């Protein structure tokens, strides 16, 4: 069964339109939003781990497994925040001209 050239052209144009529309949707909707609140996230994580550490010390003692766990998490949160701060300074160093 042969299709008429005009019918084939119509099917191809519709397919092309649908595929371009889908590609455009995926291009714009699939891109993640830029996060500008990295510093707030770091401080929130530090405050949370600090709180959990103090609760663990209060409830289980300073040498308990829970206190050691949250001390480790707190240490990692401080390291992450310091690393973020260092990266931010390095990035803005060129802009400040210092």
pLDDT value at residue 22: 80
Give the pLDDT score at 57.
96
Q: At 18, which helix (H) or strand (E)?
A: helix 5-29
**Could you count the other beta carbons within 10 Å of the beta carbon of residue 92?**
10
Domain ranges within the chain, ordered by starting residue: 38-96
As a 3-state breakdown, the chain gives helix, strand, coil percent values, each rounded to 5, of 80, 0, 20
For 40-76, the DSSP string reads: HHHHHHHHHHHHHHHHHHHHH-TTSHHHHHHHHHHHH
* pTM for the structure as a whole: 0.54
Per-residue pLDDT of the chain (98 residues; tens, 9 = 90+): 566 777 777 777 888 888 888 887 777 776 565 555 677 888 899 999 999 999 999 999 999 999 999 999 999 999 988 887 777 677 666 555 55
């Amino acid at each position: 069964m042969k299709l008429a050239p005009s019918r084939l052209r119509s099917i191809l144009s519709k397919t092309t339109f649908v595929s371009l529309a889908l590609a455009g949707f995926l291009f714009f909707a699939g891109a993640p939003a830029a996060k500008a609140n990295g510093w707030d996230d770091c401080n929130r994580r530090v405050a949370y781990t600090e709180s959990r550490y103090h609760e663990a010390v209060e409830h289980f003692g300073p040498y308990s497994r829970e206190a050691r766990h949250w001390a480790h998490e707190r240490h990692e949160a401080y390291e992450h925040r310091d690393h973020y701060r260092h990266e931010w300074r390095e990035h803005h160093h060129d802009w400040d001209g210092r």
